[in-house]
Structure 1
Amino acid sequence: MPLRKEPSHLLEPVITLAKKAGKRIMEVYQSEFRVGVKEDCSPLTAADLASHHCLMEGLDLLRPRYPVLSEESSTVPFTERSAWELFWLVDPLDGTKDFIQRNDEFTVNVALIHRNRPVLGVVYAPAKAACYFASEGCGAFRQVGDGEPEGIHVRAEAHCPVRVVGSRSHRSEELDRYLSRLGPHQLVSVGSSLKFCLVAEGAADLYPRMGPTSEWDTAAAHCIVREAGGEVTDLAGRPLLYNKQESILNPHFLAFGDKSKDWCRFAEGLGFGS
């Protein structure tokens, strides 16, 4: 199932769809919503489901039609999805804990995966009216409100001290050990895939993740960082790949802008997996 042309022709309808899903999220955000619990004990709100249904219906109308793997419908067996050469990978509400805490740091993530690599990504933060997007070979952009999209780029030379972004909800011992080796740095805690976006726009140098994430958490923003001139790799320096195995969990990873630095060396010998 080859791409009929470069994926950029799908950007405009996907951006529109992500903003529509964001509107559904904000309707719940501005109400007295309840919080449920999924089978894996992670939180679930009406906003997750409203965004999911909005995205599933909208992506089904796009042509050509590609299969969809969403966090809220993740039961597609690997025996089926392993045959997908092209598919949409979706997180309807990334940062549900941030949503519940009402700190505005949650996003809608939509990625198009082609042969295990993200070739299109849209990350929309509805509470901030900020949209980040990219497609392979076309660069990365940020749009705030109804303003004109502006091209974004990673910082080619890291700040001194290094500006690091980390998870607001998932601080780990492994991360602390990595940072102790990194040396002088400034650490800012941010929710959802906005951490990647700060790297992509040059506001941060490094996002090290030594904790569990799923493929739908990273794919859209991975494309944005790469098209902004950065990279996302595992701790051995290999680019993250998608839909390669039964598990949808990512390895530990690093998202960074300055490619002249060997960010992986600070993880060597620390005794946690790559």
Structure 2
Amino acid sequence: MDNPNPTIRLLLELAEAAAAEILRIYEGDIQVEEKGDRSPLTEADRAAHRVIAEGLARAFPDVPVLSEEGREIPYATRRAWSRFWLVDPLDGTKEFIKRNGEFTVNIALVEGGRPVLGVIHVPVQGRVYWGDVASGAWTRQAGGEPRPIRVRRPDPARGLVVVQSRSHPSPETEAYLKGLPVAESIAAGSSLKLCAVAEGRADLYPRLGPTMEWDTAAGQAIVEAAGGRVETLDGEPLRYNKPDLRNPYFVAKGAGAVNGKLP
């Protein structure tokens, strides 16, 4: 897919426009508010949401949009959705506030409870990732050509490379990893952890801590398009549009890393 299909092209354009809004605010004085759950909110979150939601509504008026910064939509309405956009306009607000560059724009298309298309834009790096479960996954640096990406198979002689959350470590994750042959652990923010698995820089991303559906949908589409899996601790694929939008604990895996074990 050297030339992405029209839907992916539109998502890339919307993500880039949202990233431009985020960077405009990032370069100035960041004002931080607190949402009801005590998580941070900035004008960058709102501005990116407006760009994406309005663009999707123009292009796909019949496909609903569920966004972290959009209005709350009750399950009584959502349960009838067989197809919808799931958006995190600024994933990694804490990283944005810290100005460490590890935040992303996430857009996913969910069909039948599974993410089938995903785009992740990394504003500070100018890098974008996208995946279509029907045809594969790619990445592109600003001004460069698309490059296909693929999960990797762990090296039994070396052990697993694990990626973990930079801002949300958990004792449950540490306990999960104790019995595994971990050779190296790397930290990253936002959905960059899922991108690390998708492009073969890490074998495993266990997330035994709180996440929401919009945090993971685009990354899951990219990981699965690249040949990997994103599963609950019971080995079931992570599902979407649940009555409760919180995710269960999950593990993103590259090739051959079954339950974190080496093949």
TM-score, with structure 2 as normaliser: 0.94
Residue in 2 that maps onto 1:176: 174
Q: Would the aligned equivalents of 1:8 and 1:138 in 2 still touch at CA under 8 Å? A: no
Corresponding residue for residue 229 of structure 1: 227
Q: Which runs of 4+ in 1 moved over 3 A?
A: none
Kindly provide the amino acid, as one letter, of the partner of residue 153 in structure 1. R
Identity score, percent: 47
- The aligned counterpart of 2:243 is 246
CA distance in 1, matches of 2:122, 2:94: 14
Q: Which amino acid aligns with 1:165?
A: V
Q: Give the superposition deviation at 1:63.
A: 3.4
* Alignment partner, residue 19 of structure 1: 16
Q: Is the 8 A contact 1:236 1:264 kept in 2?
A: no
Q: Contact conserved, 2:119 with 2:130, CA < 8 A, in 1? A: yes
Q: Which residue of 2 aligns with 1:28?
A: 25
Matched, 1:219 2:217: yes
Give per-residue Cα distances to partners, 1:122-159, cap 9 Å, x unaligned: 00001110100011211000010021110000002346
Alpha carbons 1:235, 1:264 under 8 Å: kept: no
**Alpha-carbon distance between aligned partners in 2 of 1:220 and 1:50, rounded to the nearest angstrom:** 19
> How far is 1:261 from its partner?
3.0
How many angstroms does 1:179 deviate by? 1.2
2:248 is paired with a residue whose SS is coil
* Structure 2 residue aligned with 1:95: 92
**Quick check: 9-18 or 207-216, which moved more?**
9-18
Q: Distance in 2 between matches of 1:234 and 1:260?
A: 14
CA–CA separation in structure 2 for the residues paired with 1:96 and 1:197:
18
Segment of structure 1 superposing worse, 56-65 or 79-88: 56-65
Contact persistence 1:59–1:65 (CA under 8 A) = no
The amino acid that maps onto 1:204 is A
Tell me which residue corresponds to 1:270: none
Shift, 1:98, TM fit: 0.3
Please identify, of 158-167 and 134-143, the stretch whose mean Cα deviation from structure 2 is larger. 158-167
1:106 aligns with 2:103: yes
- Cα distance between partner residues in 1 of 2:243 and 2:259: 30
Instruction: Read off the aligned partner of 2:184 and give its amino acid letter.
Output: Q
CA distance in 2, matches of 1:79, 1:198: 36
> Which residue identity does 1:217 align to in structure 2?
D
Q: Distance in 2 between matches of 1:182 and 1:260?
A: 11
State the AA in 2 paired with 1:102: R
What corresponds to 1:72 in structure 2? 69
Distance in 2, Cα, partners of 1:175 & 1:132: 26
Q: Deviations over 1:197-224 (max 9, x none)?
A: 0100001110000000000000001000
Aligned residues: 258
The alignment partner of 1:73 has SS state of: coil
Q: CA RMSD in A?
A: 1.6
Write the letter of the residue equivalent to 1:131.
V
2:164 aligns to what SS in structure 1? strand
Structure 2 stretches of 5 or more lacking a match?
Answer: none
1:136 maps to a residue whose letter is V
For 1:61 and 1:74, locate their aligned partners in 2 and report how far apart those are by CA, in whole Å. Answer: 18
Deviation at 1:64, TM superposition (A): 5.8
Taking structure 1 as the reference length, what is the TM-score of the superposition? 0.91
Q: Of the candidates 110, 125, 130, which is equivalent to residue 128 of structure 1?
A: 125
